[in-house]
Each structure stands twice: as structure tokens, then as C-alpha cells.
């Protein structure tokens, strides 16, 4: 496991960068096979579309194999730790519920059964390193293209991201 890094070096996304990211995400979206309902803006750049599609096809074969981009390359999962999950719930409510709900799509996707859709590493990397994820990770890129609102970097520490993951696991197992 990599050493703890509470302040991962990430690119700040704002202004034109966001716009260009959005455009590239849109471009990407129209050529993808991810079932992107927002991908209505066509792009002439077939080359790039093709390239992105290949990248996506290759990496999306099983999203559970995708660990994402960021400081987390391995997570040891044990039995659900109730204390950690409870702590994770508090952190999630304080930092994430302005955009995420469990049951319903809000600003971002509904997070129920996220642990069945994404690998634990991917979840933690998305929490800790959203700016880089939406630039480099094919799944995160597809999600940005769908939801358009880039995920806020809430500067969650590795320990806290792990607690949030535990909370997700507890939710998914109970329901």
C-alpha cells in the first residue's frame, strides 16, 4: 500500500479547463458504447473518438477490475467494521450529500450498490482524486459526460475515504 497522502497533487479544475474537459467528455460520450443519454453533441473528430472508444472498450470490459487513478492501488477488505461504517456515514453526510443520495439521482449518481458496480480502489480514488479521475479514468470520464457537473474535491483523507467505503459496504449488504 502506498504511503498516506492526505493532499494528493491534483490539477485544479476551473474555468476554461472545465469547459474543455466538458467538451472532450462530450466528444468522447458520443462515440462511446456506455449508453450515454447526454451524448447528443456530435464531434467531427472521429480519430479521437475512435481512440477513446478503444480505450473505453478495453477498460470497461469489467468495471470491477478497474482500480481507477489515484493514490489507492490496493484495499484489504475484511468483514464490515460497524464502527468505521458509522464514522463513514457522518463523513459522507457532511461532505457528499450536497450532491449524492443513495436512492435517487441528484447532482451526481445514486450510490446504492456502488460496491457491486465499482472496485473498492476505484471508489476511494474517485473520492480522493476526482479531478484526475475525470481526466484519465474511462469510467469517470463517462460519468462526467453523463452528469456534466464535475465531482467536487472535498480533500478527504485516505482514512476517511476508507471509512466512507465501509459505509457504502454496510449499506449495500443490509439492503
Partner 1 sequence: MIHFIKKYTALILSAAFTFACTPQRSNNEAGGVMNVSNAASKVYVAPGNHDEFYAFMSGGFSGQISVYGLPSGRLFRVIPVFSQDPEKGYGYNEETKPMLQTSYGFVPWDDAHHPELSQTDGVPDGRWIFINGNNTPRIARVDLSTFETAEIIEIPNSGGNHSSPFITANSEYVVAGTRFSVPIPNEDVALDQYKEKYKGSLSFISVDQESGDMDMAFQVLVPGYDYDLAHAGKGQSHGWVFFTTYNTEQSNTLKEIGASQNDKDFIAAVNWKKAEEYLAQGKAKEMPASYYNNEYSDETHSATATQKKSVKVLIPEECPGLVYFLPTPKSPHGVDVDPTGEYIVGNGKLSADMSVHSFSKMMQAIENEDFETTIDGIPVLKYESVLDGIVKQAGLGPLHTEFDGKGNAYTSFFISSEVVKWKVDSKEVVDRAPTYYSIGHLMIPGGDSQQPFGKYLVALNKITKDRYLPTGPELAHSAQLYDISGDKMELLLDFPTIGEPHYAQALPAELVKPRSVKTFKLSENHHPHAAKKENEARVERNGNEVHVYMTSIRSHFAPDNIEGIEVGDKVYFHLTNLEQDWDVPHGLSIMGANNAELLVMPGQTETLLWEPQKAGVYPFYCTDFCSALHQEMQGYARVSSKGSSVALSWKTGNK
Q: Which residues bind partner 1 (CB under 8 A)?
A: 12-15, 18-19, 21-22, 93-95, 97-99, 106-107, 148-150, 152-156
CA–CA separation, 28 and 149 (whole Å) = 16
Site of grid cell 476505484: 122
Nearer to partner 1 by C-beta: 51 or 159? 159
CA–CA separation, 100 and 65 (whole Å) = 24
CA–CA separation, 171 and 110 (whole Å) = 13
Q: Which set of grid coordinates corresponds to residue 132?
A: 484526475
- In the complex, what is the shortest distance from the CB of residue 80 to partner 1, in angstroms, rounded to a whole number? 24
- In the complex, what is the shortest distance from the CB of residue 173 to partner 1, in angstroms, rounded to a whole number? 24
Nearer to partner 1 by C-beta: 120 or 150? 150
Distance of CA 37 to the CA centre of its chain: 18
- In the complex, what is the shortest distance from the CB of residue 132 to partner 1, in angstroms, rounded to a whole number? 13
Nearer to partner 1 by C-beta: 11 or 77? 11
Nearest-CA neighbor of 43 among 145, 125, 117, 168? 145
- In the complex, what is the shortest distance from the CB of residue 50 to partner 1, in angstroms, rounded to a whole number? 25
Nearer to partner 1 by C-beta: 66 or 160? 160
Amino acid at each position: 500500500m502506498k504511503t498516506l497522502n492526505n493532499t494528493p497533487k491534483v490539477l485544479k479544475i476551473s474555468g476554461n479547463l472545465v469547459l474543455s474537459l466538458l467538451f472532450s467528455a462530450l466528444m468522447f460520450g458520443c462515440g462511446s458504447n456506455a449508453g450515454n443519454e447526454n451524448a447528443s453533441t456530435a464531434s467531427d473528430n472521429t480519430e479521437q473518438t475512435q481512440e477513446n472508444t478503444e480505450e473505453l472498450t478495453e477498460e470497461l470490459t469489467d468495471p470491477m477490475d478497474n482500480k481507477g487513478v489515484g493514490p489507492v492501488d490496493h484495499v484489504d477488505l475484511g468483514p464490515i467494521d460497524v464502527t468505521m461504517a458509522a464514522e463513514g456515514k457522518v463523513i459522507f453526510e457532511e461532505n457528499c450529500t450536497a450532491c449524492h443520495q443513495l436512492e435517487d439521482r441528484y447532482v451526481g449518481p445514486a450510490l446504492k450498490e456502488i460496491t457491486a458496480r465499482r472496485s473498492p480502489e476505484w471508489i476511494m480514488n474517485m473520492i480522493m482524486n476526482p479531478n484526475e479521475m475525470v481526466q484519465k479514468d474511462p469510467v469517470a470520464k463517462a460519468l462526467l459526460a453523463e452528469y456534466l457537473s464535475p465531482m467536487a474535491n472535498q480533500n478527504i483523507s485516505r482514512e476517511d475515504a476508507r471509512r466512507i467505503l465501509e459505509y457504502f459496504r454496510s449499506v449495500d449488504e443490509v439492503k
